[in-house]
Amino acid sequence: MEGDPTLRLRVFDLNCWAIRYLSKRRQERIRLIGDMLRQEGFDLVLLQEVWSEQDYSDLKVKLGGCYPFSHYFRSGVIGSGLCVFSRFPILDTLLYQYSLNGYPYMLQHGDWFCGKSVGLVIIKISGIIFNVYVTHLHAEYCREKDAYLPHRLVQAWELAQFIRHTSKAADVVLLGGDLNMHPEDVGIRLLRGWTGLRDAFAEATHFEGCEDGCTLVPNNCFTVKTELLPFPLGIRIDYILYKAVSGFMVKCEELKTTTGTAPGMDIPFSDHEAVMATLHIRRQGGAAGANLGTAEPTLVDVVTEARMEVGVGLRAAQRQRYSTGRMAVLALLLLLLQAAAVLGALAGLAAGQPFPKLSFSLLAFLAIGVLLLATGLHLFHIIEVKMLQATEEQMRTALRALQERPSDG
C-alpha cells in the first residue's frame, strides 16, 4: 500500500560466553564485540551470557553513541545474562523467569544459579510496534542421555506461552537467543508451532556463513571438541525467529553468521558464532500473521510428543522426591536414636560409666547434615513435581482444544 511504512531492520544475536572470572580472555572479547557492533551499526543487538553487570556497563559506555537505548535483565543468583541494545527508544520491558532450570546440586553445570529467563522489550519504529524477546534455555550436556530435556521442554513451553500472551498488541514479533536445541528437536517444533514463529535461516533469501547455519562449530578454539564429535559440521542452536502479527509482512532478506576469529585477532568473539539477520518489514492489506499456527494438524503430534517427554521427567522427579523424603526420615530417626542413646548414657554416668562425647558429636553432625541436605532436596523436588504436573496439565488442555477445533468449523 502506497505511503505505508516499509523498513529494513538489522538484528544481531550472540551468546557472549562471558562468565565473570572464568571465561577465557573475557575482557578482550567484550572489547572486540563492542568494536564490531560500533562498526556494523545494527538496529537491534540481543546478547546472552553477559553475566557481569560491569561488562554490560562497559558495553553501554562503549556503544552509547550508536545504541542510545539498552536494558539489562536481572534474575537468579548471578543474573539472567540477557541484555538488549537498540537504536530506537525502548517503550517497556518485562522479564519472565522459567519455573524449572536444572538442579542446584549439579554445580559443574551451573544453569540453576543463572536464573534462565526470557526478556521482552517493546520498541516502536516508524509506527510499527515490535515485541523483541531475548532468551537462553538450559544447556544440553549429553544428547544421548539428556537429563535436562524435561526442564528444557518446560522452558520452551513457557517461552511459547509468554510470547503468545504478550504479543497480541504487537505488529511484529522477534525472538533471538541460544535455545540449546537443534532445529528438528521437539522443543523447537513446539515453540514454532505454538507461536507461528518463522526461522530466519530457513526463510532467508541469501545466506552467508557457517555451513548449515551452525553456530557451535568444531573449529572454534573455545568449543569442547569431544561434545561435537557426532556433528562434524557443528550444530545450530542459536536462532532469530520472527513473525508478523497484524497487517504486516516480514521477510528475511539476508542471514549471516560469523566465521572463525575476529578480524585481525587470534580468537573468535565467543564459543558461539553470532547470527545477523536483515529483515524487510512492510504493511500489507490483510491481517497477515494473525493466526498463531495452532490449527496445524501436525501440532497435535508435537504437543503429544512434548507431553510424553514431560511425563517421563515427572515420573523421574517423583522418584527423586520419594528418595530424598525417605533419606530425610531416616536421618531424623537416626537423630532420635542418638537422643535416646544420650539419655541412656547420661543415666549411665550416674553409675560411673564414661560418655563417648566425640563419637556422639560426630554422628550427630553427620545426621544433621544429611537431614538438612535431604530436606532441601526433597523440597526442591516437590516444587519440580508441581511444575512438571502444571505443564503437563496445560499441554493436555491445549491438546483437547486442538483436537476439538476441526469440529468447530
Task: Look up residue 114 and give its three cell numbers.
Answer: 543463572
| Catalytic pick among 71, 138, 151, 272 | 272
Beta bridge mates, 313: none
CA 163-280-292 angle, 5° bins: 30
Helix residue ranges, H only, 64-182? 111-114, 149-166
How far apart CA 118 and CA 100 sit, in angstroms, is 13
Task: Look up residue 135 and give its three cell numbers.
Answer: 532468551
How far apart CA 308 and CA 123 sit, in angstroms, is 38
| Residue environment code for 80-105, b if the CB has 16+ CB neighbours within 10 A, otherwise e | bbbbbbbbbebeeeeebebbbbbbee
388 in Cβ contact with 150 (< 8 Å): yes
R_g of the chain computed on alpha carbons: 26
Dihedral (CA of 338, 343, 349, 353) sign: negative
CB-count exposure of residue 312 (10 Å: 0-12, 13-18, 19+): middle
Contacts of 365 (CB under 8 A, 6+ apart): none
381 in Cβ contact with 324 (< 8 Å): yes
Which element (helix H / strand E) includes 15?
strand 6-15
Beta bridge mates, 73: 82
Farthest CA pair distance, the chain: 104
Residue 113's φ and ψ, nearest 5 degrees, are: -80, -10
138 catalytically annotated: no
Active-site residue set: 272
